[in-house]
Amino acid sequence: MDSEIQLVSDGDGLAVLGSPTAVEQFLTSEGLASKDLGLRRLGPAFRPALGAASGVVQAGAMAAGASGRWVKLTKESAQLIDKYGLRTSAKTGLATGVYKGQRGRIKGVVEFAKTPGTRLTDPELLTGAAGLMTQLAMQQAMEEITRYLAAIDEKVDDVLRAQKDAVLADVIGVDLLIEEAMTVREHVGRVSKVTWSKVQATAMAIARTQAYALRQLDALAEKVELKAKLGDLAKATAEVESRVPEWLAVLAHCIRLQDALAVLELDRVLDQSPEELDRHRLGVRAARQSRLGSISRCVEQLMDRMHAAAGRANRKVLLHPTMAPAVVQSSNHVVTSAVGLQERLGIESDSRSLEARRWTEAAVEVRDKALEAGAGGVDTAKRVGNETIGRARSMTDKLSTSLAERALRRRPTEGDAAPAEES
């Protein structure tokens, strides 16, 4: 055991298992930051009292003596899967590999266990480790959401309390219960029957609040889509700009509570039915992906409608040089807020902010289109282009030009009759 480590990846993170020395040397050599996996928690779970086979008992003993570190799967850490040739199991979805070295030095040679009972590749140990990895991945996601809420400076509690709907009021109490349960878990190291009884019925309130927030975002998007006049569109986009961050914050908070509840749930399964942990882990991951999918579809639809609104405004920029850029700016702010949430949740998006067209750029485009109409329309095109670009000049220039033209018209030309003198 001293000279080998086990690498396990579930798609969200990478677990490094082995002796403390070997694990530390490997992480240092790869330059990876890590968190404690908490393998010691698997010892009590895999106990003979469950009537488990000797392999399960051995897994519990291994968990008590091994060291485990968890690394968030980033672009850099994900390269290790290809670098060291980890292989993915179709049954568990885990990519695994065993690294053997001499005198605590990692050689980077990969060997895969082909029979159960191998010390670091014991199926029961890997199952337990995978459950712990799911928990850490969700806790990492919770931290990302916390940073997101702090960055946008949205006070979720204030938003919730400002609403009169009972759906939102319920989630305030849920927040307090789950926060208390997470605190107890941190101090005790497990989720007892008493702790779980306090939070097991909170999932419905969170789901209702999430659904409500999604409906609010959809309603705001429809409000923008239905506005035909640019003045109405400008008012609608300004309202959406102010309200969307609030509902995104509520949505993010719901996701955070759901992740926390899943962490507590996995702890409870580990404590009561460790043989069910792997199936439950896969179910929790699938449920989370489903939630993110529904959120992603709603947010993408919102961004599409804001892009469309900005496009309509851009096409009318010549007639409305003030309101059109305001619509584009509001749309960009909404899209930026939505993309910020997607990034924190790990949802990929190709949305980009639109840039408000300058009034003069639109005028040049009109002139160029007129020039393409043909030689017969050249004079007209020039006049349209010059007049429209001239409208973008300052009022001082306009006044000076006007005064000069009036002075020229009053000046007599050669051959003209002199005006009669006043008597």
**Residue 96 and residue 116: Cα distance in Å, rounded?**
14
> Coil, helix or strand for 90?
coil
At 162 the pLDDT is: 61
At 214 the pLDDT is: 94
**Residue 68 and residue 102: Cα distance in Å, rounded?**
20
At 47 the pLDDT is: 46
Shared domain for 46 and 95, answered yes or no, is: yes
Q: What's the whole-number mean pLDDT along residues 401-409?
A: 45
Per the model's pLDDT, the better-predicted residue between 68 and 391 turns out to be: 68
At 160 the pLDDT is: 59
Least confident of 192-201, 269-278, 365-374: 365-374
At 26 the pLDDT is: 85
Shared domain for 331 and 365, answered yes or no, is: no
DSSP string, 275-296: GGHHHHHHHHHHHHHHHHHHHH
Shared domain for 199 and 262, answered yes or no, is: yes
**Residue 353 and residue 310: Cα distance in Å, rounded?**
10
For the chain, the domain total comes to 3
**Residue 341 and residue 359: Cα distance in Å, rounded?**
32
207 pLDDT above the threshold of 70: yes
Residue type, 278: D
Rg (CA), the chain: 33
At 164 the pLDDT is: 56
Instruction: Read off the DSSP letter of residue 376.
Output: G
> Coil, helix or strand for 41?
helix
Report helix, strand and coil shares of the chain as percent, to nearest 5: 70, 10, 25
Point out the domain boundary residue: 297, 316, 345: 345
DSSP string, 401-417: HHHHHHHHHHSPPTTSP
Whether 209 contacts 202, CB under 8 Å: no
Shared domain for 217 and 331, answered yes or no, is: yes
Dihedral sign for Cα 15, 19, 24, 25, please: negative
**Residue 242 and residue 330: Cα distance in Å, rounded?**
9
Shared domain for 213 and 325, answered yes or no, is: yes
Say if 281 falls within a structural domain: yes
Whether 38 contacts 45, CB under 8 Å: no
Q: Please report, to the nearest 10 degrees, the dihedral formed by the alpha carbons of residues 78, 81, 87, 90 taken in order.
A: 0
Shared domain for 316 and 381, answered yes or no, is: no
Shared domain for 331 and 368, answered yes or no, is: no
Dihedral sign for Cα 335, 234, 242, 166, please: negative
Confidence of residue 349 (pLDDT cuts 50, 70, 90): low
Least confident of 177-191, 278-292, 333-347: 333-347
Say if 412 falls within a structural domain: no
**Residue 384 and residue 388: Cα distance in Å, rounded?**
6
In total, the chain counts a number of residues equal to 423
Q: Where are the alpha helices (DSSP H) in 31-154?
A: 42-45, 54-65, 75-83, 123-152
At 257 the pLDDT is: 95
Say if 207 falls within a structural domain: yes
Say if 180 falls within a structural domain: yes
Phi-psi region of 106 (alpha: psi -120 to 50; beta: other; left: phi over 0): beta
Instruction: Read off the DSSP letter of residue 238.
Output: H
From residue 164, alpha-carbon distances to 75, 132, 161, 207, 288 in Å are: 44, 39, 7, 18, 29
Residues paired with 84 in a beta bridge: none
DSSP string, 163-216: ---HHHHHHHHHHHHHHHHHHHHHHHSS--HHHHHHHTT-HHHHHHHHHHHHHH
At 406 the pLDDT is: 47
Confidence of residue 103 (pLDDT cuts 50, 70, 90): low
The chain-wide mean pLDDT, for the chain, equals 75
Q: pLDDT digits over 147-173, tens only?
A: 888 877 656 666 656 655 666 777 888
State the DSSP H helix or E strand holding residue 98, giving kind and residue range, or none if neither: strand 95-102
Shared domain for 315 and 381, answered yes or no, is: no
Model pTM score: 0.72
Shared domain for 365 and 283, answered yes or no, is: no
Half-sphere exposure of 158 (CA within 13 A, CB side): 5
**Residue 96 and residue 99: Cα distance in Å, rounded?**
10
The CA-based diameter of the chain, rounded to the nearest angstrom, is 130
Shared domain for 324 and 363, answered yes or no, is: no
Say if 419 falls within a structural domain: no
State the DSSP H helix or E strand holding residue 339, giving kind and residue range, or none if neither: helix 323-345
**Residue 135 and residue 123: Cα distance in Å, rounded?**
19
Shared domain for 189 and 311, answered yes or no, is: yes
Say if 159 falls within a structural domain: no
Shared domain for 89 and 203, answered yes or no, is: no
Q: What's the whole-number mean pLDDT along residues 207-231?
A: 90
Question: Interior CA angle at 150 toward 149 and 152, to 5°?
Answer: 65
Say if 144 falls within a structural domain: no
Say if 197 falls within a structural domain: yes
Range of the domain at 75: 4-128
CATH code assigned at 338: 1.20.58
Confidence of residue 201 (pLDDT cuts 50, 70, 90): very high
Buried b (16+ CB within 10 A) or exposed e, 202-230: beebbebbbebbbebbeebbebbeebeeb
60 pLDDT above the threshold of 70: no
Query: Tokens 């605190």 label which residue?
Result: 183
Residues paired with 7 in a beta bridge: 16, 97
